[in-house]
Structure 1
Amino acid sequence: MNKTLAREHDEINIFEKFLEQLFKVYLDPLREYAKSKPALIRTAPGFLINPEEIILYIGRTHIAVEYLGSEVSEEIKPIKGIKVQVCNYLSKECNLFEKIVGFEYDSTSTHLFSLPLPPFSEDLILPTNKGWDMLCELKWNFAAQNSITGFNVPNPKPVAGQFTRIVNGMFFDANESGLKTRHIKWLDFFPIDYDDSNEDFDRFGFSLDYIATRVEQDAHYRYPLPDDYKYIQLPKINRFIEIWGNSKSTEPEITSHISKPENKFILTMKFGATDIFPELTCEWQSESRNSIRPDFFVLQPNGYADIVEFKLPHIDKSFLVGSENREVFASWLSSYIAQTRVYATYFDDPNNRIWFEKKYGFKVHKPRRWLVVGRRGDFKAEVWREIMADYKDLEILTFDDLIDGVVVQFYK
């Protein structure tokens, strides 16, 4: 083990030396080995071949290295512009793993103070108890994940003196804002020798001998990507749930996530569409009005499109107001509905329809309007369905309804 004496202001130099050695004995040889066997370039973990970002987490028993980037690569790119981030936790005793995932575990078990992490973990799912409860509430599909799952887990820790690797790990917690998610693609814990008992200097040592022996094995390693359609798509639904399950997520964050090419299937499957088109600008042709931009057009097999508008899933106010038998939608919900009514008005004008079809290549006429808002528990009273009957070509869909409508199709 390489020993280094350091004062506090010299610590950054130690971390730079560690990273320099990591490239010298591991990452550069791995890239060169893949070059010598070109077939490996497409199968080796892409974030090892072409790391986009490397994060060093410095604790008192380990240095952890997390690799970020694409899971797959088409070529070996020149090493330049790699972002390096250093998170230094040397100043006090802490659980380095909990610092990395960003939350503390809340096990009720009295038998174990901590859960020793095994030397190698693949497809590991470790929710806190609060995270587990929230995942169940959100109907997160555990069957979609080919994984090892822990329940009521004491705080996980890497074993002192032991190299530890986590591949494709998923960790969950929850608070008043909703679900908290931490996905780790690849994380290595390197044991270190750290001693701060001397007032003049700290003793810091590390060895990369073990990782140097892993070059060929890791180049041949295939990152666990699912190959069955069902197991490809359901984890993506889980990712979408994680986004809208956090009350701090904004409407643009939700819609931008679902508009990504790999996530479009969520809307196409739910609405029986052949394609979706996010945020197309619609300019008025017969009158001077501000242009409109519905969240999504969902194109049906008949060549006509319907409209889907997203609002937030978390509602902290009533959606119905008024006395019994005289209930109406609350003003905030009525304003959402009014917004979709403007969309219908736009396409009532044949000049707008002709302009739109010429510009975007498909038709919209008397579109069905879908408003995705809230959770199923927000719409317990059946009276809301009676009110909905008064609205033409409009449906209110909860986020739970959206997810269920997609997932059920995998079990036909």
Structure 2
Amino acid sequence: MDEIITELMSTLRDKYLSQIWFALEHNKELKRSFPAFLLNPDNICIYLGKNHLAIEYVGPYKKEIVDGWEINFTINDYSESENLIEEIVGLKFNGTGIPVPIIDEMDDLFVATDEATTILVDNNWNFLAQEMMFCLNTNGLILAGEKQMRIRNSYFYAKSGDGLKVRNIQWMDIFPISRKDVDEDHEEIGVHLWSNITSLALRDSRYTIPEKFDFQFDKLTILNRFIELFNSENVSETDITRFLSQPEHHFILNMAFFGQYVSDEIECAWVGEPDRSAIRPDFLITASNGFADIVEFKLPDLKSNSAVVGRNNRETFSAELHSYIAQTRVYSEYFNDPRNREFVKNTFGIQVYLPRRFLVVGRRLMFPPELWRAIENDYSNITIRTYDDIVATVMGFLAR
């Protein structure tokens, strides 16, 4: 197996990827819109099936492309499986419609189960923002092409537990293979690449992943990715903050919290108290008045069953929420010291004084509105926002 993969990757590097690199070097403008993950992938995933071999390129779309990139790849053997593409996607589609056939080049596929579609609709996922071919209520995926096939910029959705499982394929090439027995323990596998590999490389060097250039729809597409993320199975706080920290995603925070500039996870040391652990707020968002507020993200699902406990006019937030609020209180303590404020201003260029604290946690249905407002009033200088509040606020700005 390793010998086959080594020979295959060597051929692709010499006859395909090197041709793309040559074209980009002779036309620098192409580098601005070319998907960087094709030449500088974080990983290349290779999937071996009974009759096909698939190569998936994984990595960031936009970054500086460099020569001599060291390629890491993983190998997945699905030779015993009857359906390679469903093994790759890793989702089960059991609708009443027909299977979605993968033929030739398939760009911008959207394939979702009915249950997953319901989750997206309930969370204000915007269908009009996506330039995609929608396939709903499908009964599976099949490789129907007889020659080489390709899937690009495509999304697959299924319900998992109470959330979503999302599979994105940025770029995947699928090749027919032939198998020939050598002896009882060995077989020879032939991978049938493109016959016009050089001309295809030249064409691919001019490929750009379709993006709308209209401001509103570009932002709606990104907002869709955010909705998918916080509804996904096993999403972590780090997943959420990493997504929002990307510069092209800062508009979500700026719109939701009326900011102009976003600073993420800066390390703020305690001046005069070197033994105390530095604080690292998720985000400091600078408003138009030049002062920054603190925004901290927790998970959309609470570990406890309820956000509010107690009864008979003695309701209060749960212990879980109390612990989150206590964390933000440490941030207030830090910025109450003028020495710490001066350190942050001189080191990071961020001015913080009496910052408002925002805690993003949970979903709107977890908080009875009037009761929640009454309890929140008991806490000094903190505002609790749900993920639904964030989406609704951003959608309101984009709609206007």
Q: What is the letter of the counterpart of residue 84 of structure 1?
A: F
Q: What is the letter of the counterpart of residue 190 of structure 1?
A: F
Measure how far apart 1:398 and its partner are: 0.2
CA contact (8 A) 1:105 1:129 kept: no
Post-superposition CA distance 1:318-338 (Å, at most 9, x none): 111112322121222122223
Which secondary structure does the structure 2 equivalent of 1:302 belong to? Answer: coil
Q: Among residues 129, 134, 152, which one is paired with 1:167 in the alignment?
A: 152
Residue of structure 1 equivalent to 2:165: 180
Measure how far apart 1:220 and its partner are: 2.9
Residue of structure 2 equivalent to 1:217: 203
Which secondary structure does the structure 2 equivalent of 1:47 belong to? Answer: helix
Residue of structure 1 equivalent to 2:290: 303
Q: Distance in 2 between matches of 1:17 and 1:251?
A: 41
Residue of structure 1 equivalent to 2:366: 378
Q: Distance in 2 between matches of 1:93 and 1:196?
A: 19
Residue of structure 2 equivalent to 1:19: 9
CA contact (8 A) 1:181 1:242 kept: yes
Measure how far apart 1:402 and its partner are: 0.9
Measure how far apart 1:222 and its partner are: 2.8
State yes or no: 1:81 paired with 2:46: no
Q: What is the letter of the counterpart of residue 294 of structure 1?
A: P
Residue of structure 1 equivalent to 2:299: 312
Which secondary structure does the structure 2 equivalent of 1:365 belong to? Answer: coil
CA contact (8 A) 1:279 1:293 kept: yes
Measure how far apart 1:175 and its partner are: 0.9
Measure how far apart 1:106 and its partner are: 2.2
Residue of structure 2 equivalent to 1:325: 313
Residue of structure 1 equivalent to 2:46: 56
Q: Among residues 234, 238, 243, which one is paired with 2:220 in the alignment?
A: 234
Q: Distance in 2 between matches of 1:173 and 1:242?
A: 11
Q: Which moved more, 1:313-322 or 1:291-300?
A: 291-300
Measure how far apart 1:22 and its partner are: 2.9
Change (3 A) 1:171 1:322: same
Measure how far apart 1:74 and its partner are: 5.5
Q: What is the letter of the counterpart of residue 85 of structure 2?
A: F
Which secondary structure does the structure 2 equivalent of 1:220 belong to? Answer: coil
Q: Among residues 36, 58, 65, which one is paired with 2:55 in the alignment?
A: 65
CA contact (8 A) 2:261 2:285 kept: yes
Post-superposition CA distance 1:83-119 (Å, at most 9, x none): 12221111x133111111122212133xx3x321232
Q: What is the letter of the counterpart of residue 134 of structure 1?
A: I
Q: Distance in 1 between matches of 2:38 and 2:343?
A: 49
State yes or no: 1:364 paired with 2:352: yes
Question: Highest Rg: 1 or 2?
Answer: 1
Q: Structure 1 length as normaliser, TM-score?
A: 0.86
CA contact (8 A) 1:26 1:211 kept: no
Post-superposition CA distance 1:303-346 (Å, at most 9, x none): 11111121111014211111232212122212222332333344
Residue of structure 2 equivalent to 1:6: none
Give me the identity figure in percent. Answer: 37
Change (3 A) 1:184 1:325: same
Alignment: residue pair count: 397
Measure how far apart 1:256 and its partner are: 2.6
Post-superposition CA distance 1:199-235 (Å, at most 9, x none): 5654633322435252332223333233222233222
Q: Distance in 2 between matches of 1:265 and 1:395?
A: 20
Residue of structure 1 equivalent to 2:119: 134
Structure 1 segments unaligned to the other structure (5+ residues): 1-10
1:189-228 aligned at under 5 Å gives the runs 189-194=174-179, 199=184, 201-202=186-187, 204-212=189-197, 213-228=199-214
Measure how far apart 1:397 and its partner are: 0.3
CA contact (8 A) 2:160 2:233 kept: no
Q: Among residues 362, 370, 391, which one is paired with 2:379 in the alignment?
A: 391
State yes or no: 1:144 paired with 2:132: no
CA contact (8 A) 1:55 1:67 kept: yes
Q: Distance in 1 between matches of 2:140 and 2:16?
A: 30
Change (3 A) 1:359 1:24: closer
State yes or no: 1:124 paired with 2:114: no
Q: Distance in 2 between matches of 1:159 and 1:80?
A: 34
Change (3 A) 1:245 1:221: same
Q: Distance in 1 between matches of 2:157 and 2:213?
A: 25
Measure how far apart 1:292 and its partner are: 3.2
Q: Structure 2 length as normaliser, TM-score?
A: 0.88
Q: Distance in 2 between matches of 1:19 and 1:384?
A: 58
Change (3 A) 1:126 1:211: farther
Structure 2 segments unaligned to the other structure (5+ residues): none
Q: Among residues 379, 383, 407, which one is paired with 2:395 in the alignment?
A: 407
Change (3 A) 1:272 1:17: same
Residue of structure 2 equivalent to 1:102: 90
Q: Distance in 1 between matches of 2:58 and 2:276?
A: 46
Q: What is the letter of the counterpart of residue 256 of structure 2?
A: K
Change (3 A) 1:323 1:64: same
Alpha-carbon RMSD: 2.8
Post-superposition CA distance 1:245-271 (Å, at most 9, x none): 235222233223212222222111211
Change (3 A) 1:211 1:377: farther
Q: Among residues 47, 50, 54, which one is paired with 2:37 in the alignment?
A: 47
Q: Which moved more, 1:132-141 or 1:191-200?
A: 191-200
Which secondary structure does the structure 2 equivalent of 1:246 belong to? Answer: coil
Q: Distance in 2 between matches of 1:177 and 1:105?
A: 17
Q: What is the letter of the counterpart of residue 308 of structure 1?
A: V
Measure how far apart 1:373 and its partner are: 0.6
